[in-house]
A and B are shown apart, each in its own frame.
Chain A
């Protein structure tokens, strides 16, 4: 790059020389001047061109269309598309099914995100033990995460079956009478959460990587200073893995609001029993592809998007400042 430096300084425009000579405007400085810079500009465009095309056609365009649709009565089957202003949005306010789906989504997210992080961290701590054959345990704990979600949902429908499923039988062995799980409105959400916990191996591996970045000498030092297990965990381990925990929280919240496939497969897309598994993703799917209400479902999508954005930003602000970035990773 050193060869380009003289060229970059040279062409200061003489007309504005008196004032702007030392300090060309930001834009002027940013624009490519030398042949080299121009060349690199074209290379940059060349390499990123797939993504730029993708941004325009697969994201930008659809986002705009979706925003426009949300103010119309567009129908999936065709017909005329009329501008209805905010009608879709005001209809949402009075739509009991929508409020129910939002409640279910919140419920699942609020419970399963912290619980998922806690369980993943607990398991990662176990997998961080130095015992013989730990690699085998790591594989076993991770294995459920690679199972395609439909296949695991089909298997879990059988595991959770109240009469002849294995889970209630195991519970029966220790004297607990298992609930009806997916057939009981009060227990269908815990069933979904349990199902989610079985496959949270990715998060576990990320946290395990974080744990391995915690400096051993600090832990030893703390131990010499008389810190107990909990104190070492709270004051040494947690700060060092806090970036990983933040990552887990934000991605978990975003995923929670997009929850779809397990609820769809385990209940056949109906939201049964008694609407207890009707999450917003499923409700959106229903209104678009069962009721063909394109405009209305676009409005649902946008409200969800805004909610996710707000919640992620708030979570990031609240938790982000407590994150310690001094760690190794």
Chain B
């Protein structure tokens, strides 16, 4: 808060930056340095915002430009003639509804798998005292260090052996058997719930399964929501998994389809590519705006509480 504040003033009002806006005008008299500082700060923030938003702007305007507009130099910021041709062309070559549904199926199933396994295993390594607890947890955390490409190829050959390549099973089934990072996240959350709650239920004769499902789990909704959201997005964005396992173009996800679409069309189809990208982004951005809080909390939780 103050690390980048100006240095000069040592007087009271610094603390008063916090209170609600209703009271602040009285305590923070408008002075020229204050106004100037505020303008400068907003100016810097707006400049960075523009930088971050520029690719979005470029994508959306590109989606509505004709190929002639796209190729001009210096660039035209807004389309001279607005065309929807990119969308019609893009949607013909890129079966977006099918890819969208494929991606939804994979993402939702993985999300369920991750929620189920991370809640259960997280509970087992935090709220039950048993001799294997630390061993299992340590092992799980250690496997986070193993890069995916060490296990990638043997897994690929095994899945091929049992006939899972060309299906979504390799993308979904592993999530039901625990994602270490999410288990870690759930564990941290479970540890923060007072042990007395479980003990009270135990005294009443509740089984561990019941304590888990009816006492503890309802308290973990924020953590569970974060896990589900992270897995959903991870599956939604994943390229390598679908690239390895989905062989038939009718099964492609949005990411995989877009990769091939770009490879096939190249630069000549910038307009359609931008149109398709814009369409694939819309669901994610809607999701983000609805689940913004869960997001930020989840990332913060995944941090560093040791």
Return the CB mask of A50-88 against B: 1 if under 8 Å, else 0.
111111011101110110010000001000000000000
| Contacting pair B259 A150 (CB below 8 A) | yes
Besides A198-B52, A229-B6, 9 more A-B contacts (Cβ < 8 Å) are: A41-B131, A47-B125, A58-B177, A59-B146, A69-B153, A131-B38, A148-B236, A209-B300, A210-B303
A325 with B285, Cβ < 8 A, contacts A50-B117, A154-B273 known: no
Residue B136 CB within 8 A of the other chain: yes
Q: Mark B121-149 against chain A: 1 for CB-CB distance below 8 A, else 0.
A: 10111001111110010011001011111
Task: Check if B66 is an interface residue, CB within 8 A of chain A.
Answer: no
How far is it, in angstroms, between the C-alpha of A125 and the C-alpha of B2 when the chains are bound?
Answer: 9
CB pair B306 A325 closer than 8 Å? yes
Q: Are A161 and B2 in contact (CB under 8 A)?
A: no
- Are A149 and B149 closer than 8 Å at their CB atoms? no
- Say if the beta carbon of A277 comes within 8 Å of chain B: no
Residues from 12 to 60 in A contacting B, C-beta threshold 8 Å: 30-32, 37, 40-41, 43-48, 50-55, 57-59
Task: Point out the residues of chain B lying under 8 angstroms from A32, CB to CB.
Answer: 130-131
Contact of B131 among A30, A170, A297 (CB under 8 A): A30
Q: For the complex, what is the distance from the CA of A309 to the CA of B154, rounded to whole Å?
A: 21
Instruction: Return chain A residues, CB-CB under 8 Å to B155.
Output: 58, 62
**Cα of A214 to Cα of B263 in the assembled complex, Å:** 48
- Interface mask (A200-230 → B, CB under 8 Å = 1, otherwise 0): 0010011001111010100110011000110
Q: How many inter-chain residue pairs (CB < 8 Å) link A and B?
A: 314
Q: Does A107 contact B (CB under 8 A)?
A: no
Q: For the complex, is A298 an interface residue (Cβ under 8 Å from B)?
A: yes
Chain B contacts for A172, CB-based, 8 A = 74
List 8 A-B pairs, minimum CB-CB distance, nearest first. A47-B124, A54-B177, A44-B130, A51-B178, A148-B237, A48-B124, A62-B154, A65-B154
Contact across chains for B49 and A137 when beta carbons are under 8 A apart: yes
Which residue of chain B has its CB nearest to the CB of A244?
B304
Binding site of B, secondary structure by majority: helix, strand, loop or mixed? helix
Query: Do B41 and A44 touch (CB < 8 A)?
Result: no
The verdict on B221 contacting chain A, using a C-beta distance below 8 Å, is no
In this complex, what residue of B is CB-closest to A58? B174
Instruction: Kindly list chain B residues whose C-beta atoms are within 8 Å of the C-beta of A325.
Output: 306
Binding site for B on A (CB under 8 A): 1, 30-32, 37, 40-41, 43-48, 50-55, 57-59, 61-63, 65-66, 69, 76, 123, 125-126, 128-132, 134, 137-144, 146-152, 154-159, 161, 163-166, 169-170, 172, 198, 202, 205-206, 209-212, 214, 216, 219-220, 223-224, 228-229, 232-233, 236-237, 243-244, 247, 254, 257-258, 260-261, 264-265, 268, 281, 284-285, 288-289, 294, 297-298, 301-302, 304-305, 308-309, 312, 325, 329
Q: Report chain B residues within 8 Å CB of A243.
A: 304, 306
Alpha-carbon distance A42/B109, docked complex (angstroms): 28
- Find A51's partner among B4, B117, B131, B199 (CB 8 Å cutoff): B117
B14 at the interface (CB under 8 A from A): yes
- Complex contacts, B22 vs chain A, CB 8 Å: none
Query: Given the complex of chains A and B, what is the CA–CA distance between A243 and B120 in angstroms?
Result: 28
State the majority secondary structure of interface residues on A.
helix
User: In the complex the two chains form, is B277's CB within 8 Å of A154's CB?
Assistant: yes
Which A residues lie within 8 Å of B226 (CB)? none
Q: Is B26 an interface residue (CB 8 A)?
A: no
Sampled A-B contacts (25; CB under 8 Å): A1-B199, A30-B131, A44-B124, A47-B128, A51-B117, A51-B124, A54-B178, A126-B44, A134-B45, A146-B285, A148-B255, A148-B281, A150-B237, A154-B262, A155-B59, A161-B267, A166-B75, A206-B299, A214-B3, A224-B10, A232-B3, A243-B306, A247-B303, A298-B153, A301-B150
Q: What chain B residues lie within 8 Å of A137 (beta carbons)?
A: 45, 48-49
Inter-subunit contact A155/B274 (CB<8 Å): yes
Question: Which parts of B52-98 form the interface with A (CB within 8 Å)?
Answer: 52-56, 58-59, 62, 70-75
Q: Which residues of B contact A302 (CB under 8 A)?
A: 150
Nearest CB of chain B from residue A186's CB, rounded to whole Å: 21
- Pair B147/A305 contact, Cβ less than 8 Å: yes
C-alpha spacing A257/B44, complex, angstroms: 34
Are the C-beta atoms of B55 and A198 separated by less than 8 Å?
yes
Contacts of A1 in B (CB 8 A): 129, 199
Contact of B74 among A30, A169, A265 (CB under 8 A): A169
B: contact size bracket: 35 or more
B296 at the interface (CB under 8 A from A): yes
Query: Which chain A residue has the least Cβ–Cβ distance from B145?
Result: A309
| Chain B minimum-CB-distance residue to A123 | B48
Q: A233 to B130: give the CA distance in the assembly, Å.
A: 45
Q: Is the CB of B73 within 8 A of A163?
A: yes
In the assembled complex, B239 has its CB within 8 A of some CB on chain A: yes
Contact residues of B between 153 and 189, Cβ < 8 Å to A = 153-155, 157-158, 174, 176-178, 183
A229 and B131 within 8 A (CB): no
